[in-house]
Amino acid sequence: MKKFYTLFAAIAVTASASAEAFVSPGNGTTYTLADLSQVEACGVRSVDGAWVLDSTFTISEGDVLKIQNNEVVKFNDKIQINVNGTLDCQPADTALITGVEGTTPKGFRMYSDNAVALLKNTRMEYVGITMGAANGYVQAENCTFDSYNGSQASGACMNFSKTSTGANSFKACTFSNSAGAAIGNGANTPIGIKIYNCEFLANNYKNANRPQINLTSAGTEDVEIVGNNIIGGGSNLTKVGGIAVSNMLGLAHSNTVTIKDNLVTKNRYGITMTGGVNMVIVDNQIVDNTYEPNANNGGSAISLYDTNGLGKAYIRGNLMDTNLWGITIIGKPEVNAGKVEDPNAEDYNPGDNVFKNNGNNGVLYDLYNNGTSTVYAQGNTWNVDEQTAEKIETVITHKADNESLGEVIYMPAKTPTAITDVTVENVVKAVKSIVNGQLVIEKDGVKYNAAGQVIK
């Protein structure tokens, strides 16, 4: 009782200083919603087993707002809670943060340089988080962010409005049906972030011209987007891309953006790079990103745009299947999509990209170099029946087609060889058919007989 009385007294003193809104004293206190419900200025009340938030209040830097196990928190109309200390929502089981039915709540605004959000096992509906912390971060694991309504000025469900550290991370989270991008930041606020094993499902339901993951990258903090599924809304969301990373203001950068092991499908485009970005694009499946109505405006599996020659892209082991374009290049970025001439060279890249069914208006476009730089793209499997220079040339646009364009060096291509690992598992994974009474196995666009030999 004595401990509770002390806490209540501290709250009461601060509240009396502001009759309109509660601001915590910043003395290291942890506040639960039960604590805050004792302070009229907070506007926290218990309704049918849930905490309803009726007023804006502020948790100051140094203090903690703790949401506890199995609590249900409901924001009322236009309510935004300022947490400049720590938002601690890590229940052992679950917690739900949502809106009162029929309202348009905002969510959390975190604008202290040291603000921290720790989220785990939490479901957030309709509300978002705007993070403006230079030294703080957000760490979320096993959380769901659903149906963000876009009511905060930032637009993204999880938005970073200030350059921040590389401690930001999202692991095994789901972002679905957001009004804007799922995760985003401003053109002048590059961040470091790790996004691992998350699901992004039909975000940007307002169908604005922005992707599901929309990041500015520069400075020294790395970006890692690994093992995620980025699934668009198909023909319902024709302006929404998959992943976009940019440095449109030409900010200094020594960091690396790694995009690896992702499935990117049913978006307007797959992956884009704009400006000076050091990008590594490896082992992704970029499939069926064909929902841009005008092929001149998008639809690439991978698009690289850099007019100043400050961007670099290393591209290896990606499947690019059924997009309006395979790889498109504008400007003069440095592109290495396969460089096999010297296995000991620092820029050695085996290629191993597979191009299938990428094209529009009846024409196949595996790689379109609409820039001026020489592009290396060796060691790849192209969408032709024989991996010869004559046939590969038909699916590449470059200097040979227009003297003003840069050259694409694509030979040697990857030469199909016999399958040496004809195991039950690998046969099951391959596409099988019977032709003229014989088993035919198709793997990576190449046909083999039952003995593992290439069928030409």
* Boundaries of every domain in the chain: 2-297, 298-414, 416-456
Q: Looking at residue 11, what is its pLDDT?
A: 43
- Summarised one tens digit per residue, pLDDT across range 302-351 is 999 999 999 999 999 999 999 999 999 999 999 999 999 999 999 999 99
CB atoms under 10 Å from CB of 54, counted, come to 15
In which residue are the tokens 């830097």 written?
61
Share of the chain above pLDDT 70, in %: 86
CATH architecture observed for domain 2-297: 3 Solenoid (2.160)
Q: Is the pLDDT of residue 147 over 50?
A: yes
Residue 425 φ then ψ, to 5°: -60, -45
Amino acid at 425: E
Q: What's the longest Cα–Cα distance across the chain?
A: 88
Handedness of CA 144, 150, 152, 156 (dihedral sign): positive
**In the numeric block, which tokens belong to residue 40?**
């009229």
pTM for the full predicted model: 0.88
Q: Looking at residue 1, what is its pLDDT?
A: 34
Q: Is the pLDDT of residue 82 over 50?
A: yes
In Å, how far are 129, 324, 383, 415 from 359, measured between CA atoms?
A: 39, 5, 10, 23
What confidence category does residue 415 fall into, taking pLDDT thresholds of 50, 70 and 90?
Answer: confident
Of the candidates 214, 115, 225, 109, which has an alpha carbon nearest to the alpha carbon of residue 164? 115
* Cβ contact 125:147 at 8 Å: yes
Average pLDDT score, the chain: 90
* Cβ contact 97:125 at 8 Å: yes
What's the whole-number mean pLDDT along residues 284-297? 96
In which residue are the tokens 């011209």 written?
209
Do the bridges between strand 80-83 and strand 58-59 make them parallel or antiparallel, or are there none, so unpaired?
parallel
Of the candidates 183, 99, 90, 167, which has an alpha carbon nearest to the alpha carbon of residue 133? 167
* Pairwise CA distance, residues 324 & 301, whole Å: 8
Task: Give 104: exposed, middle or buried? Use CB within 10 Å, 0-12, 13-18, 19+.
Answer: middle
What's the whole-number mean pLDDT along residues 420-432? 50
CB atoms under 10 Å from CB of 235, counted, come to 10
* Cβ contact 378:332 at 8 Å: no
What confidence category does residue 18 fall into, taking pLDDT thresholds of 50, 70 and 90?
Answer: very low
Q: Looking at residue 390, what is its pLDDT?
A: 97
What's the whole-number mean pLDDT along residues 195-224? 96
